[in-house]
Amino acid sequence: MSQHPPPGAPGHGATDQGEPGNPAVVATSPDLPEATVARLPEYLRALHHLAESGHETVSSEELAVAAGVNSAKLRKDLSHLGSYGTRGVGYDVTLLVDQIENVLGLTQRRSVVLVGLGNLGHALAGYAGFASRGFRIAALFDVDPELVGQRIHGLTVRHLDELPQVAAEDPIAIGVISTPAEGAQSVADQLVAAGVTGILNFAPRVLNVPVGVDVRKVDLAIELQILSFHQHRKSSAAGPAALTALPGGLTGSGAHHSTDAAEAVGS
């Protein structure tokens, strides 16, 4: 990824002295820390909400509250984009939206294919958030004869064997996998063979992919287990009477439960 120019250079928005930059020139691919990249969509969501509410500027404190982070972390994240706001005024909402969308590559509409049209896949196919954030569902795939040929949210479900043909006609930016665990690796292999270098995996399985292919894993069960850990920890702090009974007659003080949850958090 290309390194962005130093703060204060043209195209980096307002400087820390409040001097306006050139909003038409924005660093498109700065070398950002992964933690910062993970928070940028939260800032963007909050900024869109502020814009819809009529806000033209926002302070770092207000934006931090709206995004659920502390203001010092937010200012550091935005400084990587060359955005420092204007003293006494804050950040220009429209300019900051443009900067973040540019960095995230949302200024062009990216084609997404969805593989696996079970209950979760069906819901994802109709998710309006894809279109509103610059993504276009280009094709739906499955291998179930009862699903292939069906029309779902305006698209005909195609057999997975047609993936290479679809990819040749319309380069795929991202493949979304919502299949059962046992089929996920095979689907990933076929996506990679079709030239897909970004995969969003909802299947409860770790995927093996070549270097250069990015995978983001979304496992709802793991998220629930992490929340369970935090609930259990709060109950433990409240005293033995508040502990929830566990299977096998163990109470929440069972060491193996806390260890498993801690490993889940660490993973």
Binding site residue list for NAD(+): 116-121
Residue ranges of the annotated binding site are 116-121
Quick one: 65 exposed, middle or buried, by C-beta within 10 A (0-12, 13-18, 19+)?
middle
- Is residue 217 within 8 A of residue 178, CB to CB? The reply is no
Contacts of residue 47, defined as CB under 8 A and 6 or more positions apart, other chains included, come to 58, 63, 93, 96, 97, 100
Is the Cα torsion angle 169, 174, 177, 178 positive or negative in sign? negative
* Pairing between β-strand 155-159 and β-strand 151-152 as defined by DSSP bridges: antiparallel
Query: How are beta strands 198-201 and 174-177 bridged, if at all?
Result: parallel
Distant-in-sequence, close-in-space partners of 259: CB < 8 Å, separation ≥ 6: none
| Alpha helices for the chain (secondary structure H) | 34-52, 60-67, 71-79, 93-103, 119-125, 129-132, 163-169, 181-193, 220-238, 255-266
